[in-house]
A and B are shown apart, each in its own frame.
Chain A
Amino acid sequence: NAGVTQTPKFQVLKTGQSMTLQCAQDMNHEYMSWYRQDPGMGLRLIHYSVGAGITDQGEVPNGYNVSRSTTEDFPLRLLSAAPSQTSVYFCASSNREWQPQHFGDGTRLSIL
């Protein structure tokens, strides 16, 4: 049982480059979300989705874009990478947004 799978695990980008962080889950969960984790700041919600075709912004959405065309996949796009986006990114899923979340192992992203 794979759970939540994030790719890549590590990535280094140059300022201005774009990329997509992939997230897939095999538990048929409706709710999926993206967080960034920075030292001393806990996890901050970037974007979330309550089902295919439905997304909404979280606390820190600027510079990121999402779409949800299938139940399984919820990719996060960095439009034009900035050093402030250096962080660890986690994808999570659950049956409902208030139920326990299943997290991937994260993508460690460095922007030079």
Chain B
Amino acid sequence: AQSVAQPEDQVNVAEGNPLTVKCTYSVSGNPYLFWYVQYPNRGLQFLLKYITGDNLVKGSYGFEAEFNKSQTSFHLKKPSALVSDSALYFCAVRAISGGYNKLIFGAGTRLAVHP
């Protein structure tokens, strides 16, 4: 079955420290992977994507993600967390079903950055 898992419901980190939000996936074929962020009472905003090329992908707001094919992971990272990074983060993977592509989302990880 095609799926994506975010093993942590919440990640707590101190401001200025590095952060990692984990994501693993299971899809057939080459994976197309995405990270989105959601702030309170808003829709999801695109952060970054991996389709092909370098395993380290850079995105918006200083975030980056590392694609690891052998571990089927796509962890989101940032070298120095900000309080304003506190939000809900979703990993997503393209799935092919019935001849069409669609996105499957993980359950989300809440990031809390403490001053």
CA A42 to CA B101, docked complex, whole Å: 19
CB distance from B81 to the nearest CB of A (A): 23
Q: Tell me if A50 counts as interface (CB < 8 A to partner B).
A: yes
Which residue of chain A lies nearest to B45 when distances are taken between CB atoms in the complex?
A: A103
Interface of B is mostly: strand
Given B32, B45, B102, which contacts A45 in the complex, CB threshold below 8 Å?
B102
Given B32, B36, B41, B44, which contacts A98 in the complex, CB threshold below 8 Å?
B32
Which residue of chain B lies nearest to A45 when distances are taken between CB atoms in the complex?
A: B102
B43 near A105 (CB under 8 angstroms)?
A: yes
Map CB proximity to A onto B82-115 as digits: 1 under 8 Å, 0 otherwise. 0000000010001000101111111110000000
**Contacts A41-B107, A42-B107, A98-B32 hold; do A103 and B44 have CB atoms under 8 A apart?**
yes
> A-side interface residues toward B, CB under 8 Å?
4, 33, 35, 40-45, 48, 50, 56, 58, 90, 92, 96-98, 100-106
> B-side interface residues toward A, CB under 8 Å?
6, 9, 32, 34, 36, 41-46, 49, 51, 90, 94, 98, 100-108
